[in-house]
Amino acid sequence: MSSLEGVVIADFSRVLAAPYATMMLGDLGAEVIKVEQPGRGDETRTWGPPHFEGEATYFLSVNRNKTSVQIDLSTEAGRGQARELIARADVVVENFKPGTMKKFGLDYESLGRDDLVYCSISGFGSGKGADLAGYDLLVQAVGGLMSVTGPGPYEPVKTGVALVDVLTGLHACVGILAALRHREATGQGQLVELDLLTVLLSSMVNQSAGFTLAGSVPKPMGNRHPSIAPYEVFPTVDQPIVLAVGNDRQFRRLCSVLDVPELATDPRFVTNSDRVENVDELFEILSVRLRTHPAQHWFEILTPLGVPCGPVNDVAHAFALAESLDLSPTATIGDMTLVANPIRLSRTPVTYRLRPPKLEQ
């Protein structure tokens, strides 16, 4: 038996944030019926390359364990089909522009079902920000993430994936599961609302709290950490390596391995606060030593001593690392190898039942 066996989700979502959430719930056993526009489907079906046997890998990445039904919500007949689907669903998930589902008579209030869990995801909420476009890159910009990412104040950089969408999808899962637990106890459903902007502000954790608690407005620091040193990328003979030294004991061990034990007692570097204050000088000294050997050499020597470090891998090497650690990072459905769900449950493990649906199904 799966954790969410018997839960039916009417999935009106598309693109990334909400489809990621519904895929995660599908992995946990829920029946997910994805509603798509006739003839076109989810926009991400056309977002390629890359492709797998003619299908966009973007779409495939977030739509397994779902079936698909084509419904034209612009017609009365289509809206009737949608209401029939919702009538047998426990959960509705949608991420249309705010007001769209209300126009169709399919919003939480119009449906009038006291036992329904209804999740709405938007870019900037359903109030004054309802008309703003909820694209991940835009939210990274206006939400402050790009202001702390990149080498300097005039070179803002987005993350390499649509991270805000993924974080919002995960928060949506938490909200939906909490609402289902409440319904189990009381019989009552509820409206679950999320927006990308406040999810991002929450997910910036220490950077956000530094502002709300101390009025500190963080600036971009490249690969450095605002509160820990050495905690950044360093050069070696062959490829970059990350050092993530979190305490003074680890720093002393690092200095010993690099044959510069005197750094551990240097007044500039004795404590973490000292090292943060003098991070430029520390970087130059450590870089000279680290350039004497390849990244793998340092990884193999420092790791057994409890000094956190590792080479900057590409995605292929990252998957290889996970495989070498027996973490099973992939899942196979038929001839398709997808990224595995990282949640491991001892009694109700995730399952991979359905490949991402083709539009004609």
Query: What values do phi and psi take at 91, rounded to 5?
Result: -135, 140
Best CA proximity match to 58, nearest among 136, 5, 120, 146? 136
Long-range contacts for 129-134 (Cβ within 8 Å, ≥24 apart)?
Answer: 129/195, 129/197, 130/97, 130/98, 130/99, 131/97, 134/95, 134/97, 134/195, 134/196
H or E stretch at 209: helix 205-214
Closest CA to 65 of 118, 25, 5, 104: 25
The C-alpha atoms of residue 327 and residue 329 are separated, in whole angstroms, by: 6
At 295, the amino acid letter reads A
Cβ pair 95, 17 in contact under 8 A = yes
pLDDT tens digit sequence for 67-112: 999 999 999 999 999 999 999 999 999 999 999 999 999 999 999 9
Beta bridge partners of 231: 244
Residue 165 pLDDT: 97
| Three-state secondary structure readout of 246-311 | CCHHHHHHHHHHCCCHHHHHCCCCCCHHHHHHCHHHHHHHHHHHHCCCCHHHHHHHHHHHCCCEEE
pLDDT classification of 153: cutoffs 50, 70, 90 = confident
> Percent of the chain at pLDDT above 90?
92
pLDDT one-digit tens code per residue, 26-62: 999 999 999 999 999 999 999 999 999 999 999 999 9
Backbone φ and ψ for 129, nearest 5 degrees, come out as -95, 10
Q: How far, in Å, are 71, 147, 166, 197 from residue 170 at the CA level?
A: 27, 23, 6, 14
Q: What is the largest CA-CA distance in the chain?
A: 78
Element containing residue 233 per DSSP (H, E): strand 231-234
Question: What pTM value is reported for the model?
Answer: 0.91
pLDDT of 120 over the 80 cut: yes
Mean pLDDT of the chain: 95
Catalytic residue, candidates 42, 136, 165, 195:
165
Question: Is the Cβ–Cβ distance between 93 and 22 less than 8 Å?
Answer: yes
Q: What is the pLDDT of residue 133?
A: 85
Q: Determine contact, residues 294/288, Cβ cutoff 8 Å.
A: no
Cα–Cα distance between 63 and 361 in angstroms, integer?
14
Quick check: is 11 catalytic?
A: no
Buried/exposed code over 93-119 (b: 16+ C-beta within 10 A; e: otherwise): bbbbebeebeebebbbeebeeeebbbb
Q: 181 is written with which tokens? A: 């637990």
